[in-house]
Amino acid sequence: MPDTTNRLAGIAYISVDGQSYMLAGELTYSPGDVERESLIGQDRVHGYGEKPRAPFISGSFRDAGTLTVADFNAMTNVTVTLELANSKTVIGRNMWTVEAQEVKTPDATFEVKFEGFSGSVTEQ
């Protein structure tokens, strides 16, 4: 078996409520709960403003013949689990999908973005 001690990127797996899906690429996640914006005056930087943001997990999925894409649009309280090449596990709890899914037929892919409440995406 090859030594993967130094592997940081590449292979990744995703499952939703325990069901594995084919991941075509571009898996992205953000556990961040806030967005900050610098408040700049004409004289100097005054500080920053902060507002809440929804943590998210998103990716490009492959449309398999056994898959129903419409099922993703109906997901409103799911657990999303990522297994990353660097041995990290990312879990999103109580997540819902945003944006309607559109299949690109040349490569049978579609984008899915899950969002959740503050603290819903954790890294282990």
What is the per-residue pLDDT across 97-107, written as a single tens digit (0 to 9) for each?
Answer: 999 999 999 99
CB 71 within 8 A of CB 101: no
Confidence at 4, pLDDT banded by 50, 70, 90: low
Across the range 63-86, mean pLDDT stands at 92
User: How far apart are the C-alpha atoms of 54 and 124, rounded to whole Å?
Assistant: 19
The mean pLDDT of the chain is 92
Tally of domains in the chain: 1
Which residue range forms the structural domain that includes residue 66?
Answer: 12-123
Q: What pLDDT does residue 3 have? A: 58
Q: What pLDDT does residue 7 have? A: 74
CATH of the domain at 104: 2.40.30.200
Across the range 114-120, mean pLDDT stands at 93
Helix (H) or strand (E) holding 72: helix 70-73
- Closest by Cα among 63, 65, 74 to 114: 74
CB 55 within 8 A of CB 116: yes
1 domain-assigned: no
89 domain-assigned: yes
Tens digits of residue pLDDT in 51-66: 999 999 999 999 988 8
5 domain-assigned: no
75 domain-assigned: yes
7 domain-assigned: no
At 73, phi and psi to the nearest 5? -65, -25
Q: What pLDDT does residue 1 have? A: 53
90 domain-assigned: yes
User: How far apart are the C-alpha atoms of 103 and 25, rounded to whole Å?
Assistant: 14
Whether residue 122 is predicted with pLDDT greater than 90 in this model: the reply is yes
